[in-house]
Structure 1
Amino acid sequence: MKHLLLLSCLWITTLLANAQNPSESLTIENKSFKSKSGTVVEAQVGSLMVPENRANPDSENISIHFIQLKSINPTSQVPLVYLEGGPGQSCTWQADDPFYLERWLPFLKVSDVILLDQRGTGAGTQRVLYITPKDVPADIFANQKVREEYLATMSQAALAEFEQRKVDLRGYTTLENAQDIDNLRQALSYEQVSLLGFSYGTHLGLAYMKYFGQHVKNAVLIGVEGLNHTFKLPSTFVAQFQKIALLAQADPKVNKEVPDLIDLYDRIIKRLEEKPVKLKVASPLTGESMPINIGSFGLNLILLSDISDASDIPVFPRLLFSIDQGDYDILQWFVQKRVGDLYGVQGMNATMDPASGASSDRLKRIEKETVDSPFRDVLSAMMQNDWPSPDLGEEFRAPFSSNIRTLLMSGTLDSNTPPYQAEEVRWGFSNSSHIIIDFAGHEQILAHPQAISTITQFLREEDVSDITLSYPALEFIPVKGSPGELSHPSIQNDYQHVTEKNED
């Protein structure tokens, strides 16, 4: 083990040392964008050429895209670098979207904002993206083995295509992403930057703070994924489902028909194990109707995919109740929402997560908790990953201490990046605040009406430690009849169902 740790430390040191004098090139052009309110924002649109794998002297060069939105503050702070979630998501598109650009206007009163795409993402960057030309098998949501065989076949096709493109997947790690941030900082001639990370962006931000902390003035981490949090604990998802069940039990619009959500779930799971439901959804490739069968595995996959989203949680009791009644319209909507995820491989995403990995102790805990989890079939499938990926090692995942001024934000309904993860990270931070937003899911933290004003206060170096934020108590959509004042796209009249009727 000591030998492996030494090799890991040497590998990281070599990567960072070899990157001290990168041969990247910077291109910039001026452009203006217009927000929803009609505000014109001046910007610089640019790209930075960096090595695909800095540990390989013969590496290809790849382009990293960014947009620097210019501040309207004549005495602005150091620029704020936004790090999107994922991994595998870009964010430069937000400048072109009037709605999203509007959200950045308060930040521009403080400083420039740099929207930075992760390597391998963004418009025109298809180098590590593979899209399958065939529709998925009908049993992909009904049979775990079918899903695994399909994904293995697609992965091999993606790897073969990446090899033809001469892609070096060893370069698609969080450390390489962090080095991209620093290369851009150097290219733009900034001594320091501030960071705003969401979800995976917090993982990337923490890596940058660990290895390049002297160049960070402030950090805002929203939905915190620490350096040893990439692989999730099964107990967190179980606790989340139990919490949802307790909230539903206390809601009079639900508890009469569904006194115990977990009992209802158990009954449906048993039925789907014996006989999957036959549905038809629209093919993401052709738009034509195609068959999809949903078993217990598929329902668990859907629940775990959205169990952290407070915009979907209110419809969960109605989803399970309708399945129990033989009505599969809501289930069909969720399947349609998720089936597109199975039509391609984002090589950056597939490589980066296993490269960050987990400590041996965390892996043992995950394995132990998986055995008794009601979601064990999905959790086992999520952990099975034969995708080639370097291991960043125990030194990368180890906790670290920092005196960087840091604001962490979490949501009480976020099981993807639960508040306790932020507290684990914060334990080593001597200059930090943690705001936990009641009834916020993963996607609702930054969307809170006071979240942006709180963050901009923090970036102006004001004290936000006594600020408390909360959403109203969670309300569930009635399990039958009209949804009333509440709504969800799965039960809206304007939802375009597939024209062919679902088979019983």
Structure 2
Amino acid sequence: MKNLLLMLGMYLMSHFASAQDYSERLTTENKSFKSASGTVVNATVGSLKVPENRNNPDSEEISIHFVQLKSTNSEPDVPLIYLEGGPGLSCTWQADDSHYLEQWLPFLEVSDVILLDQRGTGAGTERVLYIHQEGIPTDILADEAARESYSEKMGQAALDDFKQRGVDLLGYTTLESAQDIDDLRQALSYDQFSLYGFSYGTHLGQAYIKYFGSHVKNAVLVGVEGLNHTFKLPSAMDTQFQKIALMAQADPKIRAVVPDLTDLYQRVVHSLDENPAEVEVSSPLTGESMKMKVGSFGLNMILRIDIGDASDILVFPRLLYSIDQGNYAMLQWFIQKRIEGFYVEHGMNATMDIASGGSPSRLARVEEELAVSPFRDILEASMSTDWPHPDLGEEFREPLVSNVRTLFMSGTLDFNTPPYQAEEVRWGFSNSSHIIVDNAGHEQILTHPEATPTVIRFLKGGNIDDVALFYPPIEFIPVKGKAGDVSHPSIQSSE
């Protein structure tokens, strides 16, 4: 009943908003941008004021920013709205980046493209971003007690900061963001548009389809996170690592030195827990040097973040081998890359994920799989629910059934949003296709040379069921010696 009242409240607020004069809340200006090839793109840059929490009648207003890139087609199709990942990422900056803008030019031959920032994000509007100004414990990556104490301290400092600035965290949910999209649709006077979502953007896109589906002509969902997929299954990471181990074993140059990557991993994590590595990194705040102790948690953090990225998978055997040999140069590079995450608390990211939550059966399965996962420490840390949040409820997480014409895209090496998640979601879509890109990680699906032409063909109404996309098999970097033709920035001068 509580969720039904929530939906009713959102509907009434939506109805009220549609009756308002949007000119009072919508601000726009004309602007032009230049792509890497020198192409000038005309655009409308704007913002729309919306309630921070539509369930609070006294809510403050926040601004949602967007850039509408103008089509070069004299008879454009309905606009295409791009939904970035995260949650917590903006995308309007892509208009100012000549190389990213270049990638949108083919889409502009079909329709306008709307780059939409998620609520609370974007330059000058990071309302729910907290940056901790104190140093971090040097053993945060090796000692669980130190890590938990610091996490609790920083989390409370962030909450105090948000409270002092009047931030209503309960307004940062996927349902609120879906309503933002529809408010913008009404403000711009469109009956329909098409959706193009990546990663978390697919989660948001599905929420929009669920509650506002009649306004969606086409949907392209790349790297699919379903409405009940927010909490990742530990078995997905376990399986991904085992798969990489088999791939490494099939590579003669890796197998000759590392017969079994799983055995090497187990030996390394045991060694790091017995005697943590010490690496020197630069503070993201001051630039000063600081020495960090790294245990198995620090290594698992690196794997958790990058094990679904095909550009990093190729170096994992060498990373583990170098640690086993007492050489921490590569480990240092990865820690430097990720250490800034311990200084930042993104309230929007935390609230949105926990509010989407998981069904009782999903949570029970996660707990069961955690008990046997070798990555339990980092997976538990990434699934914390100790943060103020509403619960969007089981009605939100129920399977989505839709007749919206939809293209799903996945990568076979994508741990974050594995292909089987797209298939689970797709079961409820009566008019859909699914392209699985062989040897693509999470970040490599859209960068395939034929990905954009395929998406455009789909948006034009074409049949893409004959499309098969693939990359060559992963070529691992040798675990020692020269990297050869394939390299990775973490190797540095260790060759």
Output aligned runs, 1:224-373, within 5 Å: 224-373=224-373
Provide the secondary structure at the position in 1 that maps to 2:161. helix
Distance (whole Å) between structure 2 residues aligned to residue 58 and residue 389 of structure 1:
18
- Structure 2 letter corresponding to 1:447: T
Provide the secondary structure at the position in 2 that maps to 1:113. strand
Aligned to 1:164: 164
Aligned to 1:500: none
> Contact (CA 8 Å) 1:32, 1:41: kept in 2 or not?
yes
- How far apart are 1:377 and its partner, in Å? 1.2
> Contact (CA 8 Å) 1:230, 1:356: kept in 2 or not?
yes
> Contact (CA 8 Å) 1:148, 1:381: kept in 2 or not?
no
Provide the secondary structure at the position in 2 that maps to 1:150. helix
Distance (whole Å) between structure 2 residues aligned to residue 465 and residue 13 of structure 1:
39
Provide the secondary structure at the position in 1 that maps to 2:147. helix
> Contact (CA 8 Å) 2:34, 2:98: kept in 1 or not?
yes
- How far apart are 1:359 and its partner, in Å? 0.3
Deviations 1:415-439 (A, max 9, x none): 1000000000000100000000000
- How far apart are 1:305 and its partner, in Å? 1.1
Output aligned runs, 1:217-228, within 5 Å: 217-228=217-228
- Structure 2 letter corresponding to 1:43: A
1:187 maps to 2:182:
no
Aligned to 1:501: none
Distance (whole Å) between structure 1 residues aligned to residue 412 and residue 464 of structure 2:
19
Distance (whole Å) between structure 1 residues aligned to residue 156 and residue 376 of structure 2:
26
- How far apart are 1:19 and its partner, in Å? 2.2
Distance (whole Å) between structure 1 residues aligned to residue 248 and residue 123 of structure 2:
42
Aligned to 1:35: 35
- How far apart are 1:53 and its partner, in Å? 0.4
Deviations 1:82-124 (A, max 9, x none): 0000000000000000110111011001100000000000001
What's the TM-score, normalizing by structure 2?
0.98
Aligned to 1:465: 465
- Larger mean CA deviation between 124-133 and 237-246 belongs to 124-133
Aligned to 2:85: 85
Distance (whole Å) between structure 1 residues aligned to residue 199 and residue 383 of structure 2:
19
Distance (whole Å) between structure 2 residues aligned to residue 250 and residue 494 of structure 1:
25
Aligned to 2:115: 115
Aligned to 2:446: 446
Aligned to 2:69: 69
Provide the secondary structure at the position in 2 that maps to 1:79. strand
- Larger mean CA deviation between 208-217 and 14-23 belongs to 14-23
Gaps of 5+ in 1: 1-5, 496-504
Gaps of 5+ in 2: none
Distance (whole Å) between structure 1 residues aligned to residue 371 and residue 226 of structure 2:
24
Aligned to 1:11: 6
> Contact (CA 8 Å) 1:144, 1:381: kept in 2 or not?
no
1:94 maps to 2:88:
no
1:381 maps to 2:376:
no
> Contact (CA 8 Å) 2:72, 2:109: kept in 1 or not?
yes
Distance (whole Å) between structure 2 residues aligned to residue 113 and residue 107 of structure 1:
7
Distance (whole Å) between structure 2 residues aligned to residue 52 and residue 344 of structure 1:
22
Distance (whole Å) between structure 2 residues aligned to residue 454 and residue 71 of structure 1:
19
- How far apart are 1:494 and its partner, in Å? 12
Distance (whole Å) between structure 1 residues aligned to residue 147 and residue 30 of structure 2:
47
- Structure 2 letter corresponding to 1:388: P
- How far apart are 1:493 and its partner, in Å? 5.0
Provide the secondary structure at the position in 2 that maps to 1:44. strand
Provide the secondary structure at the position in 2 that maps to 1:311. helix
Distance (whole Å) between structure 2 residues aligned to residue 343 and residue 20 of structure 1:
41
Distance (whole Å) between structure 1 residues aligned to residue 89 and residue 302 of structure 2:
21
Aligned to 1:3: none
Size of the aligned set, in residue pairs, is: 490
- Structure 1 letter corresponding to 2:16: N
Distance (whole Å) between structure 2 residues aligned to residue 253 and residue 459 of structure 1:
44
Distance (whole Å) between structure 2 residues aligned to residue 318 and residue 222 of structure 1:
30
User: What RMSD in Å do the two structures reach over aligned CA positions?
Assistant: 1.2
Deviations 1:308-351 (A, max 9, x none): 00000000000000001111111001101110111111111011
Q: What fraction of aligned residue pairs are identical, expressed as a percent?
A: 67
- How far apart are 1:16 and its partner, in Å? 2.8
Distance (whole Å) between structure 2 residues aligned to residue 448 and residue 381 of structure 1:
33
Distance (whole Å) between structure 2 residues aligned to residue 492 and residue 29 of structure 1:
46
